[in-house]
Amino acid sequence: MGLTHTELRNKYKKFWEDRGHKEIPGAPLALTSGDSTTLFTSSGMQQLVSYLLGEEHPLGDKLFDIQPSIRTQDIEEVGDNRHTTFFEMMGNWSLGAYFKKDQLENFYMFLTNTKIGLGLDPHKLFVTVFEGDKKFKALSSPDTESQQIWTDIFTKAGIDVNKPKRIYAYPASKNWWSRGGLPAQMPVGEPGGPDSEVFYDFGENLKLHEQSVFKDEPCHPNCDCGRFLEIGNSVFMQYKKTNETTFEELPKKNVDFGGGLERILAATNDDPDIFKTDVFNKVMHSIEHNSGKKYDATTQIPMRIIADHLRAATFLIKEGVRPSNKEQGYVLRRLLRRAAIQLRDLGVDYKGAAAPDICHAVMETYPTHFVEGNNKTISDVIKDEVSKFAKTIEKGIHALNKLSAVSGKDAFDLYQSYGFPLEIIEELVVKKGLYIDKAQFYAEFEKHKNLSRTSSAGMFKGGLADNSEQVLKYHTATHLLHQALFDVLGADVKQEGSNITGERLRFDFSASHKPSPEEMKKVEEIINQKINDKLPMRFKIMPKSDAEKIGARSFFKEKYPDMVKVYYIGGDDDKPETAYSKEFCGGPHVTNTGTIGTLSIFKTEKIGSNMYRVYAK
Ligand code: SER
């Protein structure tokens, strides 16, 4: 039996603390709607973008954490041995402190050392490096440096890197990482870099390759047969895209490492099924108990889906997400409804205590994430949603069973009248052995746009669309707007969210009265005065309590660490207390308001009781 998840967490923490790293507070899993361009935190680096681009981090240049994350794009893969929507990403970062050699040597030591690490057998590790991308001059060379570092590491351990071949070079599709995907797809301003992945080999004995659809092709680390499992990715965040054809070096060469906690546990188990690791133990027991069935080849697919989806749902509800028809709420609804269908398939009375009971097992698994009191709310939300769905589920399945062919329109009606998530309809239709006209199905869907916006391409964290110059200008202008609203409307102005694109900025706030056109004119005048004054934009890292004392504005929906970064506009050097605007913020910003150009407020609207939204460009 491998490690428990608590043992793994403790080892990880000690390992990086012993190497001078500071633990950063986790980012929220569900990002605040309106303040963000993506729905969920999907990797540890997401909260660190501005620091990877060169800003100074309040906790220093060596960081680590274990970040709860959600990736909904994999939802249909859930059911195999290794895919989940929710996972925890173990991360470590160097903001210019060290680079390839230290990172690869340290991660190898963590994996293989029997005392301070996990004691994995180094013969089971295979690694990959970037082969270069000829489309971009700066990226055209293969990463021979990492290739050599790995050769030295294995050779020192007495392992021949050629028998069998242990180091593989792949193109950007496999060994390049950025939030926006491949170099060619990345928006201008986005950081990215080549990466080096480590795979754990579960061996030929399990015959995973022979039994897979890939059996006629040679097996290799990136083959999807399941024999090799990626357990860690060291990204060398070294470049920034500066225009459509060019990449330039960032001010610092950074490391961004991420490895799935569940997958690393599976490697310590020497069993490729992540659902058999300790972190799923209680949850699987609860599913077995509630269904009266054992986890085996006949039940594993529904049980894995139930385990993953209810785990994700439990975390989302804890963070305040509630089932609804849009954004995060819709993702939660899909997770709960998909789990209900699978419970039903297993013969469980899905309307009863089963789902809340399984979620309870999730909470027991993570005592540091769930405190007393979470419990009842989470159960109530689940019970309510599942019983609502139960009212239509039988009717929907009955309606579907009556059809002998399913048109796109039929499928859409099932979605709309019975609340079946799209992919469930597809799964049920396929199960019946029926054909479904997918193109028509999606066309119908497109017509009704009130859908979940998933965390797909182009939607990034932090309210910033990218780090282009225009976005930085609007970001600094947002700070001016925030302060000017205070000046004109009074001290009860509270930021509710913001969103910036290359075309405009948007700012939501609450205030005790509706701003008049004259007041908004005044706000605009103040902002343009501050722009004309060409004030410097600077930041200072300070204790949170000091920042609060000098009246720096914070965003009440966000958790801040003990040391914070405060951006201030104007005032004396190193004296944010003398500045016009002071705000808790990670950046990035322009360095002088003079570069912003004239700002015009082109729309103010009421979006709720005492809530207003302004647009400016
Ligand atoms: N950002 C990288 C990833 O998500 C490594 O942390 O894989």
From 32-36, 356-360, 524-528, the region with the lowest mean pLDDT:
32-36
Ligand 1 binding pocket includes 65 (Cβ within 6 Å):
no
Q: Is the pTM of this model over 0.85?
A: no
pLDDT of residue 542: 80
**Residue 443 pLDDT more than 80?**
no
**Residue 459 pLDDT more than 60?**
no
**Residue 458 pLDDT more than 60?**
no
From 23-32, 396-405, 557-566, the region with the lowest mean pLDDT:
557-566
Q: Six-digit token pair at 255? A: 């490391």
**Residue 500 pLDDT more than 60?**
yes
pLDDT of residue 260: 97
Best residue among 40, 43, 107 to mutate for probing ligand 1, ranked by most atoms within 8 Å of CB:
43
In 3D, which of 244, 137, 241, 257 has the Cα closest to residue 198? 257
- Contact call for residues 567 and 479 (beta carbons, < 8 A): yes
In 3D, which of 336, 335, 326 has the Cα closest to residue 454? 326
601-604: long-range contacts, CB 8 A cutoff, minimum separation 24: 601/520, 601/523, 601/524, 602/504, 604/515, 604/520
pLDDT of residue 115: 96
Ligand 1 binding pocket includes 93 (Cβ within 6 Å):
no
pLDDT of residue 64: 98
Best residue among 69, 196, 233, 257 to mutate for probing ligand 1, ranked by most atoms within 8 Å of CB:
233
Question: pLDDT for 105-145, tens place per residue?
Answer: 999 999 999 999 999 999 999 999 999 999 999 999 999 99
29-32: long-range contacts, CB 8 A cutoff, minimum separation 24: 29/68, 29/69, 29/70, 29/315, 29/316, 29/319, 30/316, 30/319, 30/320, 30/321, 30/328, 31/461, 32/497, 32/557, 32/558
Question: pLDDT for 508-556, tens place per residue?
Answer: 898 988 899 999 999 999 999 999 999 999 888 788 888 888 989 887 6
| Sheet of 611-616, strands arranged across | 494-500, 505-510, 611-616, 601-608
Ligand 1 binding pocket includes 44 (Cβ within 6 Å):
yes
pLDDT of residue 412: 78
**Residue 463 pLDDT more than 60?**
no
For the segment 221-231, the average pLDDT, to the nearest whole number, is 93
| Residue ID of nearest Cα to ligand 1 atom 4 | 43
Question: pLDDT for 272-313, tens place per residue?
Answer: 999 999 999 999 999 999 999 999 999 999 999 999 999 999
**Residue 98 pLDDT more than 90?**
yes
* Average pLDDT score, the chain: 89
**Residue 564 pLDDT more than 90?**
no
Question: pLDDT for 379-398, tens place per residue?
Answer: 999 999 999 888 888 888 88
